[in-house]
Structure 1
């Protein structure tokens, strides 16, 4: 029933978006893997959570790239660092990946430097070689920003999927916080399931670009009327855990009762699937009543939290530790559809 989607690979165990994180996610039973897509200077789609890569690679320690450090405005935020779109693929591929949260996940940080940056086609090769079907849930990042900079993300993605034989593949899901790029992909006939990501607050970058201060908020796009409209063009929506669990009571893992989620009920009634992000077991990411001890890096009562989330009937969960999400699903008696 509920799909377990490895968030940037098995990113609780290995540096995110690394080959080892992706391969481990397959081994640990993930139903699908979620990469984030950003472009290089020469239009290659690479797998990084953000286009600024100083937090997840060794670029800051590479003197040959010191001249590329700069400040840019991305979706209204000023960011300083090194950006993928300023590197050619041949340059970017020399960087080594690092753990984003080394103090929280020292075991993962022990693998810093072992892997390099990957392209989308590299991950597709890993999935094609997997011993069982494993899906792809690809997130298109900052589509409007890149469009303005000369990188048409929908076309780049359609081309890359076509070249790898993944265009229209049943394993394919594409998601974005911007509807425009999803609609472009629909017009291109790229195929797969299209999922609209929504933050709890704020507005999408493409809506702000089009409407300025009167841009519709993500919250306003969760009305019954808005959801019904989305069902005509998208497969589903993806919301943060706080939105998913708003008003829900935390349920003990021994209790088999469903957990009521208003957004799941309303989206399902409109014909939309619902996904949520991100399940993490460390105390830092758990609701206060489920934290255990004073160490933010220690695992708290993650089973109670994970199983409560799964009992909402959500269609997919993103998890940094896919093995724990798979275990939680077994506790509630679910299996992937």
Structure 2
């Protein structure tokens, strides 16, 4: 038998493997960008307008924080207390709904999504949460409703059809043990909606994030979607009072996180301190975890001292320098209220976007 005929079966087998093997993730020269609550530096956060602007500016993922209504509908708000992000205070018919609750060990007074049906929330309008910092966003007050998670999914599908590119989703379960304790658990409606719109495996552009642990473990038991354990420089998971985030970020702690999650989401200062990189990225990578840092903003008040500019008339600092320094620390992704400017900092040759 000739050498060519002997090699032919091996070549055919190799071609078959190449054809049917799943595509490996494309190597990235820069971290991907998660639009934090949408393009919330330019539109009131958690509105369809903020998400659409972020998509138009080229964000890789958009991030809705998810809470629930009295009738079990997932809606996008940073917190279940909505006094500071809607015009509920201007609705006398809801004055009696103002109350105080203990959530994650803190007493909070205001109006809460779980005390409203979706139909009632539809009568409210979104407001800029930081009007003193972002006065230009206040011109949009009163224009937008609180969106449901399904409406966000529908927007993403429509924009994918328009642009021809995949747009990632990065939902956060807010206060999951609190909501589960009042009979409004996130898991079932969240996974049902994601499945309805075709998000079912680790190949789909979805990360589910939480500062708690139990809900991530419960999702991991029934889903292949990727999960991110959020962490902070202080405190610990509300559902595990005996555990601190510091414990979770030791070498052994990171290994335990890797048993149920695909990455960690630390505050940016936990990755880049004034004296330089902290080494957290390397330890997490050694444990097989991605690192997605939050949250990069342009205003001086949110920037480390080294990147602040006292002479800027808009009160903004060296945002590009900060983004580049965070990227240089080796992170896999970053959250930003300003996806357009973050993209420009990472890739100055990128075509200008809206």
User: TM-score by structure 2 length?
Assistant: 0.86
Give the gaps of 5 or more residues in structure 1.
Answer: 209-214, 250-259
User: What's the secondary structure of 1:57's corresponding residue?
Assistant: coil
Which residue of the partner structure matches residue 211 of structure 1?
none
Question: How many residue pairs end up in the alignment?
Answer: 316
Instruction: Tell me how large the CA RMSD over aligned residues is.
Output: 1.7
Sort the Cα spacing of 1:305 and 1:332 in 2 relative to 1 into closer, same or farther, 3 A: farther
Take 2:259 and 2:104, find their aligned partners in 1: how far apart are those partners? 27
Tell me the secondary structure at the aligned position of residue 266 of structure 2. Answer: strand
Partners of 1:7 and 1:320 within 8 A in 2: yes
Name which one, 1 or 2, has greater alpha-carbon Rg.
2
**Aligned partner (choices 242, 250, 266) of residue 239 of structure 1:** 266
Matches within 5 A, 1:149-298: 149-168=182-201, 170-189=204-223, 191-208=224-241, 215-246=242-273, 248-249=275-276, 260-293=277-310, 298=315
Cα distance change on mapping 1:266 and 1:290 into 2, 3 Å: same
Q: Given that residues 37 and 45 in structure 2 are in contact (C-alpha distance below 8 angstroms), is that contact kept between their aligned partners in structure 1?
A: yes
Structure 1 residue 289: Cα displacement: 2.8
Partners of 2:151 and 2:243 in 1: CA distance: 37
Q: In structure 1, what is the equivalent of residue 36 of structure 2?
A: 7
8 Å Cα contact 2:98/2:110 also seen in 1: yes
**Structure-2 residue corresponding to 1:60:** 89
Deviation at 1:294, TM superposition (A): 6.0
TM-score (norm 1): 0.90
Three-state SS of the structure 1 residue aligned to 2:41 is: coil
Residues 284 and 296 in structure 1, CA contact (< 8 A), matched pair in contact too: no
Contact 2:66 2:171 in 1 (8 A): yes
For each residue in 1:8-34, what CA deviation from the matched residue of structure 2 results, as whole angstroms up to 9, or x when unmatched? 000000000011100000011100001
